[in-house]
Structure 1
Amino acid sequence: MSLELVSTGEVLKYMREGDAIIIDIRDEAAFLKKHIPGAVLMPYAGFDENAPILKAYGNIILCCERGATSLLLGRKLSKKGYKILSLGGGMEAWRGPLILE
């Protein structure tokens, strides 16, 4: 389907509308230290491209530390037909609310 870079503001809009799932693909330690409220942890190392949760959402927002890994995974998932949004710059660029350890 598609792969698109999105900003913090765009992610916040999707969060308000309830129109997407945010998937954090960092490792568990990084996720527990800080993450976006409502994000689901699915580490890249063991990511299941066929996970049933993916099919339940029209928009999938991927988030990693700096943005590169989510783009890599996003390309693979978009080829499988998912609409992927990748947080540009990853958590280092995130300027919205956070859940902190």
Structure 2
Amino acid sequence: MSTNTLIEEITPTEVSHRINEGKRDSIIDVREHEEVAEGAIPGIHHIPLGELEDRLGEIDQNKEHILVCRSSARSGRAAEFLKSKGYKVKNMAGGMLDWKGDLDRK
């Protein structure tokens, strides 16, 4: 059985609604630098998956975090890793491929 079933998911539409309602969710984008440069959800915190373990100090353990990548595979792995370290996380299902909201270009 996959451990991924233990990770709660949130849809891109739900994330967009939360942003539009002014909720200051912590959104961590684990894509590579060149992917984020092409467009990212406004207000994200960018930590590429390969840097996640070294940058745990940047992530508030008292908040819930929404993890994002291109298709939701890498963010699912990131969510599993963070959850194993005691963080509260959700994975954005479908990733940026399903994102219809605004984009920041870095």
Give the distance between the partners of 2:79 and 2:52, measured in 1 at CA: 12
Aligned to 2:23: 17
Gaps of 5+ in 2: 1-5
Alignment TM-score, normalising by the size of structure 2: 0.81
Q: Tell me how large the CA RMSD over aligned residues is.
A: 1.9
Aligned to 2:3: none
Letter in 1 for 2:44: A
Gaps of 5+ in 1: none
Contact 1:3 1:74 in 2 (8 A): yes
SS of 1:99's equivalent in the other structure is coil
Count of residues in Structure 1 that have an aligned counterpart in Structure 2: 99
The percentage of aligned residue pairs carrying the same residue is 27
1:36 aligns with 2:41: yes
Give the distance between the partners of 2:101 and 2:12, measured in 1 at CA: 6
Give the distance between the partners of 1:70 and 1:82, measured in 2 at CA: 14
Deviation at 1:3, TM superposition (A): 2.5
Aligned residue among 86, 97, 100 for 2:102: 97
More strand by share: 1
Aligned to 1:62: 67
Moved more, 4-13 or 20-29: 4-13
Aligned residue among 70, 89, 92 for 1:84: 89
Deviation at 1:100, TM superposition (A): 3.1
Moved more, 75-84 or 25-34: 75-84
